[in-house]
Chain A
Amino acid sequence: MTALTYAAPHVVATRRRRIAPFKVLSRALIILIVAVQVYPLLWLFMTSLRTETDYTEGNPFALPSALTLENYARAFRVGNLGRNIVNSLVVTLGANVLIVALGMMAAYAITVLGFRFSGVVRALFLLGIVVPVQIALVPLFIDYASVNLLDTYQSMIIPLAAFALPMSVYLFGSFFGYVPREAYEAASLDGAGPYRIFFGITLPLSINTIVTVVLVNSIFIWNDFIFANTFVLSDGLKTIPLGLQNYIGAMGKVDWTATFAAVCVTITPLLLVFLVLNRAVIQGIESGATKG
């Protein structure tokens, strides 16, 4: 009897000991890797709440000795942060409208309507996925200069939308492929033409795909540096990524705490959307890639 009561916990214990090290180890590793991913961002946020002297004279990686919001006030006062945010909103909105509308139209023509060279056109769009944006910089700069488009919102919106179009066409196209043919045929028998089917059937069904396309693209557009840096010259049109470089004071010294405050402000909208719709983003990425 005593032997039995002793034996039972012993068995449990050994089994646990056999499995536990792996679990503990893998959990520790996950935490470590996630910490590497997140700590720099946490540090960035903490720095934005530090006083300037605490940052420059103390240890910038220790906990702040006092918290202040003065950096945020300075970020708005010194830089052109408000203007930058408005500009980024305009560009992000404009490009997204184009990406969704044009992406859906192209996918609809290729997948649903169909035409003789639809395969060729599809391939032409898909090719765009591997084309690096750098190829367009010099030609667009020259073209914009000749039609007076340099230094406008359009100069950023057009290439941002065009380079995102291949992925958008691909995502909408693969979604449209899942819509049962019978839905279209039934509508067609009822006398609906291609336009009514587009607005009556395809568009309402595509809401989820639209959300995914907009979310993923917004991240890239909101953060775009290369097109803005190449095509925009005047301060009034600078988007956030360019505006963040404005916090350089006398003698070329960077005002780090104000810069990081500005970074925090400009990340926030994207971060909020991302956290609220995070399931949609994650599912979008997962399905987009695994279907391919």
Chain B
Amino acid sequence: MLPRRSRLSVLVFLVPPLAVYGIAVLFPILQSLFLSFFQWDGTTAPKAIGVANYARMLGGDSVFWHAFGNNLLYVAISIVIQIGSALIVANLLLTLTRGHAVVKTLYLLPAVISTVAIAFLFQRIYSVQPEGLLNQLLQAVGLGHLQQPWLSNISTVLTAVSIPEGWRFTGLYMLILHAAFLAVPAELEEAARLDGASRWQVFRLIRFPYIRPVWITTLIMAMTYDLRGFDIPYLLTNGGPGQSSELLTTYMYKTAFTSTDYGYASAISVFIVVECLVAVGLIFLVLRRRDQS
């Protein structure tokens, strides 16, 4: 604490950032909460309907629950791709003596590209007419019978829209994990090696536990980013065909700006915030329990 600070100086530094943050983040949260108890189409007078929006959402709306299920699967697939391949590459990179910088840069490259460009790209990769990259690859390795319109087949579309999300940010998580692995003391690993530990054992028993705080951070980052995933599914399929790749975010967006049902859309967005908070809380809870046992 600076000795010569005045109350005024604290306010001068604190009020502008708090104002912007309050206007665009904190206040909208309260506003959404408030709106979620109304029925409002934006033009006629809002009508207070109590918890009816929540009752409809949690009780009767099958699209909502379908989108919720889709969302969980979307997050699961993206996280497996992101953290999974990030872990593999971060580890393999440790065996490399040269070229770290090149691999890191190339691996991070997709994170720089806009979601709109990525959506275009994957639309081409999945396409059937003209034959997209994926279908061509299948043909080339003799799995031609698996060729299909990935984005219009209701059983593949959800996976197909999740993969780009995983692909895009895995470089980010790899960088973080790799930096953490580099900080693992070499003596620790060497001692284990001398005791006859295999590479896998060194990874499982030393390296991975050592970077625990970092992979928890990474997991939380990936979880909260993926839970709010919107751009790629919205642009690739807009939730379709039917509702088969609908996420809570795309459903909320359509409810708000296509059906202009602001009240119900607010209820869904409140649910999305709660979902993010619960997800982070769950990660902490599970980890604490494991600590105690």
Q: Could you list which residues of chain A lie within 8 angstroms of chain B, going by C-beta atoms?
A: 22-23, 26-27, 29-30, 33-34, 36-38, 40-41, 43-44, 56, 59-61, 98, 102-103, 105-106, 108-110, 112-115, 121, 124-125, 128-143, 158-159, 161-163, 165-166, 169, 184-185, 188, 191-195, 197-198, 219, 222-223, 225-226, 230, 240-242, 244-245, 256, 259-260, 263, 266-267, 270-271, 274-275, 278-279, 281-282, 285-287, 289-290, 292
Contact = CB atoms under 8 A, between A and B. Distances in A.
B23 to A, nearest CB: 7
A37 B114 contact: no
B55 interface: no
Nearest to A191: B4
A285 B24 contact: no
Contacts, number: 270
Contacts of A133: 228
Interface string B161-197: 0000001001110011011100100000000000000
A39 to B, nearest CB: 8
B4 A188 contact: yes
B28 A136 contact: yes
B53 interface: no
B interface residue count range (under 10 / 10 to 19 / 20 to 34 / 35 or more): 35 or more
Contacts of A131: 25, 29, 273, 276
Given A134-B228, A225-B115, A290 B176 contact: yes
A56 B257 contact: no
Given A56-B130, A136-B24, A282-B175, A37 B92 contact: no
Contacts of A166: 21
A289 B2 contact: no
B26 interface: yes
A222 B114 contact: yes
A244 B117 contact: yes
B182 to A, nearest CB: 9
Given A267-B114, A278-B101, 4 more contacts: A30-B96, A113-B5, A131-B29, A256-B124
B24 A159 contact: yes
Contacts of B131: 59
Among all A-B residue pairs, the 3 with the closest Cβ atoms? A162-B24, A223-B114, A132-B228
Nearest to A284: B175
B31 interface: yes
A135 B217 contact: no
A106 B22 CA distance: 13
Nearest to A241: B116
B1 to A, nearest CB: 4
Given A282-B108, A289-B218, A113 B1 contact: yes
Most buried by A among B16, B24, B108, B220: B24
A34 B274 CA distance: 36
A244 B114 contact: yes
A29 B92 contact: yes
B80 interface: no
B17 A282 contact: no
B9 A195 contact: yes
B107 interface: yes
B83 interface: no
Contact of B269 (A43, A60, A134, A267): A134
Given A194-B5, A271-B112, A290-B176, A109 B21 contact: no
Given A132-B276, A267-B112, A37 B269 contact: no
B10 A109 contact: yes
Given A34-B106, A244-B120, A40 B125 contact: yes
A147 B163 CA distance: 40
Interface in B76-125: 85, 88-89, 92-93, 95-96, 101, 103-117, 120-122, 124-125
